[in-house]
Amino acid sequence: MAVAAAPAQPAAAARAHPVARLIRRRLAIGVVTLFLVSVVVFLATEVLPGNAAYAILGHNATPVRVRALEVALHLNRGVLGQYWSWVSGLFTGNPGHSLVNGQPVWGYVEPRIINSAVLVFVVGAIGALAGVALGAVAALRKDGWLDHVTSVIALAVTSLPEFVVAIALVIVLSTVIWHVLPAVSLLAPGSYAWSQPELLVLPAATLVIVIVPYILRMMRAAMVEALESDYVEMARLKGVPEWRVVLVHALPNAIAPTIQVIGLNFLYLAGGVVVVEYVFNFPGIGQGLVSAVSDRDIPVIQFIVLVLAAFYVVMNIITDVIALLATPRRRIAR
Amino acid sequence: MAVDAPAAPAAQPGQTRRIRRPQWGTLLSATRTPRGAIGLGLASLVVLVAVVGPLVAPNSPDALVTLAFGKPSGEFPLGGDSLGRDVLSRVLDGGRALLVMATCATALGVAGGAAAGVSAAYLRGVSDGIIMRAVDVILSFPQLVFALLLLSLLGPKLWLITIAVGVSHGPQVARVLRSATLDLSERDFVKAAELQGMRPVKVMWKEILPNLVSPLMVEAGLRLTYSIVIIAGLAFLGFGQPPPAASWGTMINENRDGLSLDPWAVIVPALLIALLTIGTNTFTDAFARVAIGVDRRPDEAALIEDLSQGLGE
């Protein structure tokens, strides 16, 4: 709609803050999505057939216990009232209490969020650097042996489930062949990942192996395109040294589209941490989710799923905004 | 890349001739490329193991016949598992449910996603807005997390896992098919059908869908790979067939404590899952190159296209 409206407006008004307008619009969509996500999370755990209290306690539970649990879960109120007490709890920093041990959900989840965040950002940074570097080299050596090898390995690795990669690393590095790294990341409850960095190595390595192929493929394609472009040809004809052509002319233009794929991989990590943390018993949010689902600890499930979804929505917005800023022609109002 | 492909669905705008060639030719030529042949070979091998396996298994998969994590021997070539059951028999028995569930979840997700994506693009307006907002909401959950959310209340029922995985595929399929339909619905043959008074549902079914067979098949291949990954992953996490049933994902988790005693109890099921997903993904890649001539995965391409459309507005 903005496309049709823009030419009608005075040029100055249309150019006022096109980037700011796009970002505002993107944020508004994000807020609406987050609201709908919270409704889905809430309804999925409340409206599914069967009372949640019976689902947790089993069908031969005593009425007294069912009643007590209904009160704990606010099931004795109407659906709107339940939703309201849950959401207002989230905003006041009180997402409820665990059904398993009665501890506050926040106290259980908070150290896990930090551990997972450390894992995700370590993996994202290493993965992005490795993917961009390998992709650029593959493009420079297009159709060479390195290009063919990385392309075949990338296709194979993108097919593999994370837990297969993780198990392969455990077999090679910590049990059957060598014993150089711990197979499980046993941390004292409530302690943080950076206190024992060696425990981060295998979970991080698994996730890096999983995300690098996607970034590599995108970077290679974008770099090949950039190297065959007219401006690179022009630079070469002017006698610009080759290293400068690659680093100053081709690379920055190839990185712009790759940023979006790096963003997509951060999104992937929100789900990828679940299995990998479980494999290594890494005390993060994903492992917390798996054990909460096993125990049917609904308040914990609701909160962790909402945190992961919020991360997803926010990362999506950040990716869009960075892509917008990295691609100058999109900044101009059309 | 694959310029001489027999069927090229991306016809020029304004071209009135419909491309409705049977897709079997494309499938066949995909199997003749090296990648296609390797992919099909690997996947068929694993399917063969899963289908024929239960018939030739030497022992009952549930019988305690050897030592826990017993070393491989002549009678038990892959050794014993965590409880002393025959690993070979459990491997041979453990693939069927995964294959059936992954196939059903893929069919559900591709059919539902295609219906949503095609109607959103063809009907436009309010339907498009509602469908795409719903897509955004489901896309905000990582697929595995979405499945876990649904499983958390009803417990790990096999039908529920299948439906949850199918539903989590829907939005991605819908996005890809929506952008494909947006191009198609401006073509002359669609306009001609509309002018003849054909009802929208019939236009979508008779005129648009037949021209989307190639992207649909690529999507089906990708979703099949992801279904296998997610369903095997859920089994690995303990949300699959209840014990004592054998399944490859569960076996990896049950037997990893004994990795240093009998690594085969973990390596063989992991290898079978890996060969299966590499097989389906490689074949899909070969098919996509022949049928659409893309070097980039269609889901990535559609996502990026979608992002730029959203930003360009």
- Of A160-164, B153-157, B170-174, the least confident: B153-157
pLDDT of residue B303: 47
Ordered per-residue pLDDT tens for chain A, 334 residues: 344 444 444 444 445 567 777 788 888 888 888 888 888 888 777 655 455 666 666 666 677 777 777 666 666 666 777 777 778 877 777 777 777 777 788 888 888 888 888 889 999 999 999 999 988 888 888 888 888 888 888 888 888 888 899 988 888 887 767 776 776 766 666 667 677 777 788 888 999 999 998 888 888 888 888 888 888 888 888 888 888 888 888 888 888 778 878 888 888 888 888 999 888 888 889 888 988 888 877 888 888 888 888 888 888 888 877 777 766 555 554 4
Distance from CA of A246 to the nearest CA of B (A): 23
Give the pLDDT confidence score for residue B106 in this predicted structure. 94
Q: Which of A56, A148, A164, A294 would you mutate first to test chain B, the one with the most B CBs within 10 A? A: A164
Residue of A nearest to B39 (CA): A156
The answer to whether the Cα torsion of B68, B73, B79, B85 is positive or negative is negative
d(Cα A274, Cα A272) in Å, to the nearest integer? 5
Q: What mean pLDDT, rounded, does chain B reach?
A: 78
Contacts of B145 in chain A (CB under 8 A): 270-271, 274, 289, 305, 308-309
Phi, psi torsion values for B13, nearest 5 degrees? -60, 140
Given the structure tokens 């609406």, which residue do they identify?
Answer: A32
Cis peptide bond upstream of B244, omega within 30: yes
Q: Is A325 on the interface with B (CB under 8 A)?
A: no
Long-range contacts, stretch A1-6, CB < 8 angstroms, 24+ apart:
A1/B313, A2/A333, A2/A334, A2/B313, A3/A334, A3/B312, A3/B313, A6/A333, A6/A334
B213-236 and B158-184 helices cross at what angle (nearest 10)? 150
Rg (CA), chain B: 22
Residue A83 touches chain B, beta carbons under 8 Å = no
Domain ranges of chain A: 18-91, 106-331
B161 Cβ contact partners less than 8 Å away, ≥ 6 residues apart: B101, B105, B147, B151, B231, B234, B239, B240
> What pTM did the predictor assign?
0.82
Q: Which CATH architecture has domain A106-331?
A: Orthogonal Bundle (1.10)
Distance from CA of B263 to the nearest CA of A (A): 7
For B24-34, the pLDDT digits (tens) are 677 777 777 87
Interface predicted TM-score (ipTM): 0.80
> Which chain B residues touch A323 with a CB distance below 8 Å?
307-308, 311
Joined together, the tokens standing for residue B179 give 């952008």
Q: Which helix (H) or strand (E) element contains residue B178?
A: helix B158-184
Shortest Cα distance from A19 to chain B (angstroms)?
10
Q: Is B260 an 8 Å CB contact of chain A?
A: yes
For residue B80, list its beta bridge partners.
Answer: B86
Which token pair is B248? 């490859």
Q: How far apart are CA B90 and CA A41, in angstroms?
A: 37
